[in-house]
């Protein structure tokens, strides 16, 4: 049993939990105490399995057995920020950095489009080289080249005016995990120069502009408790984002949190399952962190209620360098074999891309 679960010593009744799961699946909303009890009860195999089964059932009712695929392009691993958990932080002098050219990004999307992908996610560190002008240009070219594709950005915190310009150019979705709803926890995993209030403001701004906004957090960051996760879940219950990305914390040795233990995969799956019960129609990816911790990670995520996979379609040479954490899943396969391998894994449980 993991640290976070152990700290909640409660007398747990499996039948009560099953009632709670059913209630949550029907109402999609819950109070803090119910969440606390459910998370604490996930150490019990019966509760954990029932929770995941219900979440996967709700996802199938909404999306069927078809899993959405998004092509992920990691456009730059330069970052002006210094998040204590991330290998791309600016003070990590051991990082080997790259920045893709517009031509390289467009070539990745072209290949992905030919392979059938219809959503691209451009993700990266907060890299000043990606000015609004450059991104607007890139988005316009991408729309011309791949007319049916949806463009998702995940480039961190920018000014409202910048988000607006990128939206007007044609980006329609933006992933910006809130990282921690609790301000003290946020401040423990970020340097003082970063602001919790600004992070949340950015998410609200994105939604106001009209983006489908994505929130989320890591499970298992140092000092995180069950109560912190409850706050994360309640914040997302209030904001109701269109997308929710939840991964497991994996320590990177060249960061201030490098000697902390890896987060608990099982607890991550439980949090994903609860999230699905709370947000039946949200797009919830089976994140790379899951696949990095287990060969069946993508499938495990889907069997916990996730409905999206985001295969990496960055240039092969770049993939090992985008090292947010060590051991990050980055197959050296081309798009076709990546999609084939994913399809085979999903087909073992009757899912398909
Ligand atoms: N710079 C952008 C997007 C790239 S980072 C941003 O920060 O929003 C994307 C996500 O990777 C982050 O939101 C964070 O939750 C996750 N991440 C960073 N370091 C990690 C680690 N050590 N373990 C697991 N996930 C991590
Ligand atoms: Fe930069 Fe994002 Fe990593 Fe923070 S999490 S250091 S903003 S890439």
pLDDT digits (tens, 9 = 90+) for 16-74: 899 999 999 999 999 999 999 999 999 999 999 999 999 999 999 999 999 999 999 99
Predicted confidence at residue 59, as pLDDT, reads 98
Ligand 2, closest atom to CA 124? 8
CA distance 237 to 232: 9
**Which of 78-82, 83-87, 196-200, 330-334 comes out lowest in average pLDDT?**
330-334
Closest ligand to the CA of 220: 1
Rg (alpha carbons) of the chain, rounded to whole number: 19
- Crossing angle of helices 265-278 and 14-27, rounded to 10°: 40
152 - beta bridge partners? 121, 173
CA of 241 to the centre of ligand 2 (A): 21
Binding site membership of 88 for ligand 2 (Cβ less than 6 Å) = yes
CA distance 265 to 231: 19
Percentages of the chain per state (helix, strand, coil), in multiples of 5:
45, 15, 40
Determine the residue of 89, 189, 218 to mutate for testing ligand 2's pocket, defined as the one with the most ligand atoms within 8 A of the Cβ atom.
Answer: 89
pLDDT tens-place string over residues 256-272: 999 999 999 999 999 99
Ligand 1, closest atom to CA 257? 22
CA distance 76 to 313: 14
Residues in the chain, overall count: 353
185: left (phi over 0), alpha (psi -120 to 50) or beta: alpha
For ligand 1, residues with CB inside 6 Å are: 85-86, 123, 125-126, 154, 156, 176-177, 179, 218, 247, 249-250, 252, 289, 324-325
Nearest in space to 234 (alpha carbons), one of 278, 282, 169: 278
Binding site membership of 86 for ligand 2 (Cβ less than 6 Å) = yes
Determine the residue of 72, 75, 77, 81 to mutate for testing ligand 2's pocket, defined as the one with the most ligand atoms within 8 A of the Cβ atom.
Answer: 81
Ligand 2, closest atom to CA 156? 7
Closest ligand to the CA of 256: 1
Question: Taking residues 190-201, what's their average pLDDT?
Answer: 98
Binding site membership of 185 for ligand 2 (Cβ less than 6 Å) = no
Instruction: Using the predicted structure, report yes or no on whether residue 8 has a pLDDT greater than 90.
Output: no
Which contacts of 294-299 are long-range, i.e. CB under 8 A and separated by 24 or more positions? 294/265, 296/345, 297/265, 297/329, 298/342, 298/345, 298/346, 299/345, 299/346, 299/348, 299/349, 299/351
CA of 51 to the centre of ligand 1 (A): 26
Ligand 1, closest atom to CA 125? 1
CA of 86 to the centre of ligand 1 (A): 6
Instruction: Using the predicted structure, report yes or no on whether residue 11 has a pLDDT greater than 70.
Output: no
Q: Whose CA is nearest to atom 7 of ligand 1?
A: 156
pLDDT tens-place string over residues 80-103: 999 999 999 999 999 999 999 999
CA of 9 to the centre of ligand 1 (A): 31
> Global pTM?
0.95
CA of 89 to the centre of ligand 1 (A): 10
> CA angle 149-119-111, nearest 5°?
80
């Amino acid at each position: 049993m993991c640290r976070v679960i152990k700290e909640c010593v409660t007398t747990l009744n499996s039948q009560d939990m099953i009632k709670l799961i059913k209630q949550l699946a029907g109402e999609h909303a819950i109070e803090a105490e119910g969440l606390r009890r459910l998370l604490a009860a996930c150490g019990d195999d019966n509760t954990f399995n029932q929770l995941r089964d219900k979440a996967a059932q709700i996802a199938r009712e909404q999306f069927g057995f078809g899993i959405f695929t998004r092509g992920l392009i990691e456009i730059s691993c330069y970052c002006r920020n210094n998040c204590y958990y991330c290998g791309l932080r600016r003070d990590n002098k051991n990082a080997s950095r790259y920045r893709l050219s517009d031509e390289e990004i467009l070539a990745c999307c072209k290949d992905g489009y030919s392979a059938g992908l219809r959503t691209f996610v451009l993700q990266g560190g907060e890299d000043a080289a990606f000015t609004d002008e450059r991104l607007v240009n890139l988005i316009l070219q991408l729309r011309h080249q791949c007319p049916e594709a949806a463009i998702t950005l995940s480039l961190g915190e920018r000014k409202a005016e910048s988000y607006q310009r990128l939206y007007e150019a044609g980006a329609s979705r933006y992933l910006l995990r809130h990282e921690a709803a609790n301000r003290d926890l946020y401040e423990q995993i970020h340097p003082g120069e970063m602001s919790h209030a600004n992070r949340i403001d950015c998410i609200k701004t994105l939604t106001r502009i009209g983006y489908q906004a994505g929130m989320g957090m890591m499970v298992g960051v140092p000092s995180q408790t069950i109560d912190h996760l409850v706050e994360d879940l309640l914040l997302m219950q209030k904001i109701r984002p269109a997308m929710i990305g939840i991964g497991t914390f994996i320590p990177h040795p060249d960061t201030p949190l490098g000697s902390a233990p890896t987060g608990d995969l099982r607890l991550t799956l439980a949090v994903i399952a609860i999230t699905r019960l709370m947000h039946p129609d949200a797009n919830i990816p089976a994140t790379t962190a899951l696949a990095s911790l287990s060969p069946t990670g993508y499938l495990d995520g889907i069997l916990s209620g996730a409905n999206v996979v985001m295969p990496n379609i960055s240039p092969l040479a770049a993939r090992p360098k985008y090292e947010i954490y060590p051991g990050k899943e980055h197959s050296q396969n081309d798009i076709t074999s990546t999609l084939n391998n994913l399809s085979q894994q999903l087909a073992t449980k009757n899912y398909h891309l």
